[in-house]
Amino acid sequence: MASEQATMLRINLDHSSPVPLYYQMAKAIEKDIETGALAPGERLENEIALAGRLRVSRPTARRALQELVDLGMLVRKRGVGTQVAPARVHRRVELTSLFDDLAGSGRKPATTVLEYSVGPCAPEVSDTLEIPQGEEVVTVKRLRYADGEPLALMVNHLALEIAPTREELTDLGLYAALRAHGIEIHMAQQQIGARLATAAEARILDEKPKAALLTMERKAFDVDGRAIEHGVHIYRASRYNFSTTLFAQ
Amino acid sequence: MASEQATMLRINLDHSSPVPLYYQMAKAIEKDIETGALAPGERLENEIALAGRLRVSRPTARRALQELVDLGMLVRKRGVGTQVAPARVHRRVELTSLFDDLAGSGRKPATTVLEYSVGPCAPEVSDTLEIPQGEEVVTVKRLRYADGEPLALMVNHLALEIAPTREELTDLGLYAALRAHGIEIHMAQQQIGARLATAAEARILDEKPKAALLTMERKAFDVDGRAIEHGVHIYRASRYNFSTTLFAQ
DNA sequence: CAGTGGTCTAGACCACTTA
DNA sequence: AAGTGGTCTAGACCACTGA
């Protein structure tokens, strides 16, 4: 039985481009899903027809489709076919920074750098960053605002040779500033907890003493496993929470 | 130049097994990494030699290696080779349940089911579970202990036809009980926040009133995007925090 | 039974890294 | 220049689904 409802994708591939064909295909389909040209539940052509029409081999077409399955945008079943996944499953968002989060949700982030100092490495930080104790590291203490209100107090430690300048940290988030230095964060270990605000913390965050705070401690690493950053953050629980989308292995 | 330090993996593949060759290979290498037979930083054979030695095609060997790269256990660089990733990058652990977490860290979990009722669906739950308002859903309220101390108060809503029994929930975590019914959670959306304990919450959790609580609201879906579960949990911040490992896209 | 995706092969050529 | 992984092809056979 010929496929009754399969959508014919309009995709132009540039076979002479240095951009891999599977990548061009995946991006094109991804765009169609994001714009709604392909609706959730809609059926795609089978991979052999798709490959033939786009003049690529079947493994290449498969690879493109598999990329989108891994992203949760497509669902494939043997004997059935390929469908666009329900909208809510699309796109895992992970490892974004607070700055990006705020900017992305339309709130206006701003940062005050309260402290920017170079000093000997404390034992705890030494462990994380794998820098010998006593060697110099940069300590940064920042107050983050959203729409003019204080939101979070963040203390970070970085190795001297990779630390962004004070000015960069005022204009960008930490991760964006690191990226400008060619440093990509690949993995982070986080612990999220809660506690009551001290008097000093309450004052600086415009909360009452003993208000609820969200706490986050993070260690971040690059793709080679080098430790890049150690951070201890506190957030006003009245104004912020962590939203995450998790996927089963 | 012949490879100087590449480790020769001892892998036996069963070419007549229904288990895919790439999967057998990936599992074998994964096991060697986990047991320490392959140490972090160690170099593997190049993929062509590996494929030849194991009598599989190069794409099959590549696929096995790629699986482990996706898991963060191997790092590959063009022109350089394949190495075992630093230990801390191995294995993303996601979407585990509190019960599994506790059992895994050697603490003894226990559960009391405080309430198990069937009743009409509240508007908020109706939205999440995509069950018409007023239709019946199961509401479960559980108190979780670790090592004899109360740790968390959890309220969950599930569709009638998939809800585990009261007895199952006493012996297992919610996700394990669902799994026993053939239901696999594939994705969950979570929000983690903090607030102060009410008098009633403090009493039941053995905390002082206005102690800090961690809050978590979760919606869980299966692989087809069907809503499975809606939960609102509170944790004693003095006894628990969320540990997560995040990976950049 | 026809149609689908899942696995596998045996090559080819290219791009990047290191010395 | 040698060695590595990255991409791509053109087939083959199998396993599962649904009518």
Interchain proximity B192–A225, CB inside 8 Å: no
Compute the average pLDDT of residues B8-17: 86
Question: What is the spatial distance, in angstroms and rounded to an integer, between the CA atom of B175 and the C1' atom of C2?
Answer: 39
Instruction: Identify the CA nearest to B154 among candidates B191, B205, B223.
Output: B205
Residue A11: helix, strand or coil by DSSP?
A: coil
CA distance B94 to chain A (A): 6
Interchain proximity B241–A191, CB inside 8 Å: yes
How many Cα atoms sit within 13 Å of B49 on the Cβ side? 11
Average pLDDT, chain B: 86
Each residue of B95-135: pLDDT tens digit? 667 776 777 777 888 899 999 999 887 777 777 667 777 77
Residues 6+ apart with CB under 8 A from B196: A196, A211, A212, B210, B211, B212, B213
Other Cβ atoms within 10 Å of B115 Cβ, number: 10
Q: What pLDDT does A209 receive?
A: 95
Interchain proximity B89–A190, CB inside 8 Å: no
Q: What pLDDT does B127 receive?
A: 74
Residue nearest to nucleotide D4 (CA to C1'): B79
Instruction: Indicate the residue of A190, A194, A195 with minimum beta-carbon distance to B246.
Output: A190
Q: Does B244 touch chain A (CB under 8 A)?
A: yes
Reading the block at residue B145, the tokens are 């202990």
Q: Does the pLDDT at position B85 exceed 60?
A: yes
Of residues A80 and B198, more confidently modeled: B198
Contact, B148 CB vs strand D, < 7 Å? no
- For each of the domains in chain B, give its residue range(s) and CATH number, in order of start: 21-84 (1.10.10.10), 89-243 (3.40.1410.10)
Residues 6+ apart with CB under 8 A from A76: A65, A69, A82, A83
Q: For nucleic chain C, which protein residues have CB less than 7 Å from any of its atoms?
A: A 1-3, 6, 18, 44, 46-49, 58-59, 62, 76-82; B 20-23, 55-60, 63, 77-80
Residue nearest to nucleotide C14 (CA to C1'): A18
Reading the block at residue A45, the tokens are 């052509």
Q: Does B214 touch chain A (CB under 8 A)?
A: yes
Of the candidate ranges A43-47, A146-150, B182-186, B228-232, the one whose mean pLDDT is the lowest: B182-186
Q: What pLDDT does A93 receive?
A: 53
Question: What is the spatial distance, in angstroms and rounded to an integer, between the CA atom of B52 and the C1' atom of C2?
Answer: 37
Q: How many angstroms separate the CA atoms of B130 and B145, rounded? A: 31
The chain B residue lying nearest A223, using CA atoms, is B75
Of the candidate ranges A103-112, A126-135, B74-83, B191-200, the one whose mean pLDDT is the lowest: A126-135
Greatest mean pLDDT range, A235-244, B175-184, B221-230: A235-244
Each residue of A10-54: pLDDT tens digit? 888 888 888 999 999 999 999 999 898 998 888 999 999 999 999
Determine phi and psi for A226, rounding to 5 degrees.
-70, 135
Q: How many angstroms separate the CA atoms of A127 and B4, rounded? A: 32
Please list the ranges in chain A whose pLDDT falls under 70: 1-5, 88-96, 100, 128-129, 249
Instruction: Indicate the residue of A59, A241, A248 with minimum beta-carbon distance to B186.
Output: A248
Contact, A242 CB vs strand D, < 7 Å? no
C-alpha dist (Å) from residue A238 to A68, A197, A206, B79, B89: 37, 12, 11, 51, 33
Query: pTM to 2 decimals?
Result: 0.83
State the DSSP code for A43.
Answer: B
C-alpha dist (Å) from residue A168 to A113, A163, A179, A181, B174: 10, 10, 11, 11, 46
Rounded to 5 degrees, what angle do the CA atoms B244, B191, A218 make?
A: 30
Instruction: Identify the CA nearest to A193 among candidates A209, A173, A215, A210.
Output: A215
